[in-house]
Chains A and B, each alone.
Chain A
Amino acid sequence: MLKVDNIYVNYGAIKALQNVSFEINTGEIVALIGANGAGKTTILNTISNIVPSVSGKITYEGKDITKTAPHDIVKVGISQVPEGRRVFAKMSVLENLEMGAYTRSDKAEIAADIEKIFQRFPRLNERKKQPAKTLSGGEQQMLAMGRALMSRPKLLLLDEPSMGLAPMLVEQIFQIIQEINKSGTTILLVEQNANMALSIAHRAYVLETGEVVMQGDAKELARSPEVRKAYLGE
């Protein structure tokens, strides 16, 4: 579905990504794990083309999308839940969801999708008129995910959805990620919580200082001594 080929990304003099290649197949949950500053967020932002690559190629469903404008990336079916949730703080919960549906014009269908999001996240329904900044961290994460789903993505990019959440809530969020995947959305999951990520992912890539250093079946990686030592705190 998505193929990233030899991507290089710099921020000024800082080399953030070097020779990164990986693939995502339709229907998968692929985890991307790595330490702080490894380049995980940069990868997602390069796919969304908020951060341009110096060289390399990104192909989505056979089409080269390396130079596609960020707003058109959403149109082809890729949507991102950014790191730190980034809800529109001054806008209401409902308006945030409407922004997620910005590329669509099928009003009735949008309204139906908003209802579905509210069914999945009832707490958002109770707060739909409130400005997003009044939501708790967990509710904001739900809103950010709901918002990203509003474009009906085929591929969903999730950047550290468990960040700063209580363990109970983390369980719930990962549960929801699996449900979203089962209902037909392919997922690229960036996580520092390697344990949780590997437990729900099919495959995974390990990133170290801008390079892919390991890859494979998620369950196998979770058993490998290097990964256990470096990312599972053993």
Chain B
Amino acid sequence: MFLQQLINGIALGSVYSLIALGYTMVYGIITLINFAHGEIFMVGAFVGLLLISVAKVNIFFAIIGAMVFCMVLGVVVELVAYRALRKSSRLSALISAIGVSIFLSSLALMVFGADAKGFPDNAFPVTQLHIGNADVSTLQLVIIAVSALLMMGLEFIVQKTKIGKAMRATSEDYNTSALMGINVNRVISFTFALGSALAAAGGVLVGVLFNAVSFNMGLMAGLKAFAAAVLGGIGSIPGAMLGGLLLGVSEVFGVAIGYSSYRDAIAFSILVLVLLLKPTGLLGQKITKKV
């Protein structure tokens, strides 16, 4: 029972982590809460759905396709909706982000309708495995493995590659990064591309996990992932990974011990608690205001 719930929680939580990473990276670099991020996740889920049900590709190619599509979408959103507001107040940028969020979900409503869409039967064969006394579906294992792989990939990019180092530099000090010859606009685009790709992968995985894709799925998932990012310490990449896992696991355990009607409230209760006790989040650093 415990092991069972733990695995369920990790599967759900790793998807929250994937989405939370986008919030935290974008915040780290331009101190903007990208409210449209949940909708990028939703679009990723639809692209995955179309690829699996119409183009009949397998789940891995669907994930890659959704990631590529949302990378472009994320870059375009930043270019169109945020770039011109880079030097304005954060409130204007936030309002613009909410606008993009409403635009994308309305667009999805128009194109796909209000009903949740499911995946075709047998789109991927799911086998139940018995590990100890836990029933684990291969789907959960795929979710955990794909998420872990993507996060390791991200860690590699951020720590080891030139553009990843430029991301870290830019998030520390925008002007000084420009003095290094770093094209900060390009770094910001790259950050949106990375974050959006992870959200898209999360979208496909969640769609498959719950066998439902709908125009408004980005709202709750986005809010929870945002909570996870804040829980871990907004701006911190390991924080987002940890925050997502913690939220997923506590949500699943909360439901298991009988608080299923409070399912969605659990994430936010934890968030409020952590913020009261440690305002910078679990792994966050004191936010020094950038001048």
Query: What string of 1s and 0s marks CB contacts (under 8 Å) between A72-107 and chain B?
Result: 101100011010001011110001001110110000
Is B162 a contact of A102 with CB atoms below 8 Å?
yes
Query: What string of 1s and 0s marks CB contacts (under 8 Å) between B160-197 and chain A?
Result: 00100110110011011111111110000000000000
* Chain B residue at minimum C-beta to C-beta distance from A133: B172
Query: What string of 1s and 0s marks CB contacts (under 8 Å) between B109-146 and chain A?
Result: 00000000000000000000000000000000000000
* Chain B residue at minimum C-beta to C-beta distance from A148: B179
CA–CA, A80 and B176, complex, Å: 9
A67 at the binding interface (Cβ < 8 Å): no
CA–CA, A140 and B281, complex, Å: 29
Is A89 a contact of B172 with CB atoms below 8 Å?
yes
Known A-B contacts A88-B168, A91-B165, A91-B168; the reply to A99 vs B180 at CB < 8 A is yes
Query: What string of 1s and 0s marks CB contacts (under 8 Å) between A60-80 and chain B?
Result: 000000000111101100011
List CB contacts (< 8 Å) of B22-60 with chain A. Answer: none
Query: What string of 1s and 0s marks CB contacts (under 8 Å) between A33-71 and chain B?
Result: 000000000000000101000000000000000000111
Is B168 a contact of A90 with CB atoms below 8 Å?
yes
Query: Residues of B within 8 Å of A, CB-based: how many?
Result: 17
CA–CA, A74 and B179, complex, Å: 7
B contact patch SS: helix
A151 at the binding interface (Cβ < 8 Å): yes
Is A88 a contact of B172 with CB atoms below 8 Å?
yes
Return chain A residues, CB-CB under 8 Å to B162: 98, 102
* Chain A residue at minimum C-beta to C-beta distance from B168: A91
Is A50 a contact of B178 with CB atoms below 8 Å?
yes
Cross-interface CB contact of B179 among A70, A75, A89, A95, cutoff 8 Å: A70
CA–CA, A89 and B285, complex, Å: 12
Return chain A residues, CB-CB under 8 Å to B175: 50, 82, 86
A203 at the binding interface (Cβ < 8 Å): no
Known A-B contacts A99-B165, A102-B166; the reply to A88 vs B179 at CB < 8 A is no
CA–CA, A69 and B186, complex, Å: 13
Is B165 a contact of A71 with CB atoms below 8 Å?
no
CA–CA, A72 and B175, complex, Å: 14
Known A-B contacts A99-B165, A99-B166; the reply to A91 vs B180 at CB < 8 A is no
Return chain B residues, CB-CB under 8 Å to A102: 162, 166, 180-182
Known A-B contacts A88-B169, A91-B172; the reply to A99 vs B177 at CB < 8 A is yes
Cross-interface CB contact of B180 among A72, A89, A90, A147, cutoff 8 Å: A147
Is A95 a contact of B178 with CB atoms below 8 Å?
no
Query: What string of 1s and 0s marks CB contacts (under 8 Å) between B262-278 and chain A?
Result: 00000000000000000
CA–CA, A82 and B175, complex, Å: 10
Is B181 a contact of A151 with CB atoms below 8 Å?
yes
CA–CA, A102 and B172, complex, Å: 16
Cross-interface CB contact of B165 among A86, A89, A95, cutoff 8 Å: A95
Closest CB of chain B to A151's CB: distance in Å?
Answer: 6
* Chain A residue at minimum C-beta to C-beta distance from B172: A88
Cross-interface CB contact of A50 among B166, B169, B179, cutoff 8 Å: B179
Return chain A residues, CB-CB under 8 Å to B184: 71
Chain A residues within 8 Å of B, Cβ to Cβ: 48, 50, 69-72, 74-75, 79-80, 82, 86, 88-91, 95, 98-100, 102-103, 147-148, 151
Can you give 17 A-B contacts (C-beta < 8 A)?
A48-B178, A48-B179, A50-B178, A71-B180, A71-B184, A75-B181, A82-B176, A88-B168, A88-B169, A88-B172, A91-B165, A91-B168, A98-B165, A99-B169, A99-B180, A100-B180, A102-B180
Give 14 new A-B contacts, CB below 8 A, not counting A48-B178, A50-B179, A102-B162.
Answer: A50-B175, A70-B179, A72-B181, A74-B180, A79-B179, A79-B181, A82-B175, A86-B176, A88-B173, A91-B172, A98-B165, A102-B181, A102-B182, A148-B179
Closest 4 CB pairs of A and B: A74-B181, A103-B181, A70-B178, A86-B176
